């Protein structure tokens, strides 16, 4: 169990990306591609936000 929690702590951003990618794939099956294109744009904007938060988190944890 601790091995999995350690993996999740180190790779949580990769897990988020994988979930987002799966969401895009599922959305592309259920909806039209135009809707997916809009969603991808929003996810890219959101992804940049998550990346900035991640960088900020890294900086804070390295200070301790």
Q: What is the pLDDT of residues 4-62, one digit of tens each?
A: 777 777 877 788 888 888 887 777 777 776 776 777 777 777 777 777 777 777 777 77
| Number of domains comprising the chain | 1
pTM: 0.38
The tally of CA atoms less than 13 A away on the side-chain side of residue 20 is 16
Give the domain extent around 38: 2-63
Is residue 20 within 8 Å of 42, Cβ to Cβ?
no
Residue with tokens 């135009």: 34
């Amino acid at each position: 169990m601790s091995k999995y929690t350690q993996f999740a702590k180190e790779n949580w951003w990769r897990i988020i990306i994988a979930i987002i990618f799966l969401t895009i794939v599922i959305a592309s099956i259920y909806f039209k591609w135009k809707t997916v294109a809009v969603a991808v744009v929003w996810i890219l904007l959101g992804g940049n936000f998550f990346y900035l938060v991640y960088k900020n988190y890294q900086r804070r944890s390295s200070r301790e």
